[in-house]
Amino acid sequence: MKFGVVVFPGSNCDRDMQEALQNDLGQEVIMLWHKDKDLSAFNTNDCIVLPGGFSYGDYLRCGAVARFSPMMQSVIEFANKGGKVLGVCNGFQILCEAHLLPGVLLRNANQQFICKNVYLKGGDSNQALKIPIAHGEGRFFADEATLDQLEANNQVIYRYCDAGGSIDTKANPNGALRNIAGIRNAAGNVFGMMPHPERATSEALGNLDGRTVFASLLGVR
């Protein structure tokens, strides 16, 4: 699998993502500039990644400006053809703004930026995964009908939990509805999550749980 990592002005996790995929996981990575549009080097077995950061300074709403970038028009077409797309943190916000995923990310319930390790449960594993978060607007919100549809279609890929794997409100860092930390689209090729798995793939950092995320979502081991 080949990965394309989109670089927006204000991205600050694009090189973290490149480092994790290329050096920790041994994957081919191509960096993609936001003003370009060419995705001809990628097929539907490959994956485009929208990294974390503050694209276009997070003016208006987070991800609202990036959604209209030239590269995002190509990413939308790529996703609609069945290509894999992963959005992390700000990338998740962009996917929601682009309507590739339902819902929206609102300001954290405590109205503060949060940067710490949290625990997730979901994917192909029932174990609690320790993955870092770093966001001020990560509270997933959607109407009840949309939430019920996500549940019914098994589109919730990760929920916040405690270290023992119990899902409760005390383990929810930002007030996300139903403890939702990540979702996928109905077709199963577009994924969005607020926590940063690319920050948990290196032995030097003392945490390899992010590798389980990449393996579960994309088959990368």
As annotated, the active-site residues are 89, 196, 198
Task: Please report the beta strands in the chain, taking only residues with DSSP state E, as ranges in sequence order.
Answer: 2-7, 28-33, 47-50, 84-88, 104-106, 114-122, 125-135, 139-141, 156-161, 180-184, 190-193
The CA angle 42-46-48, to the nearest 5 degrees, is: 85
Residue 178 tokens read as 């139903």
DSSP state letter for 215: H
Q: Going by C-beta distance under 8 Å and a sequence separation of 6 or more, which residues neighbour residue 72?
A: 6, 34, 66, 94, 98
Give 178: exposed, middle or buried? Use CB within 10 Å, 0-12, 13-18, 19+. Answer: middle
167: helix, coil or strand?
A: coil
* 202, β-bridge pairs: 207
DSSP state letter for 123: T
Separation CA 8–CA 33 (nearest Å): 7
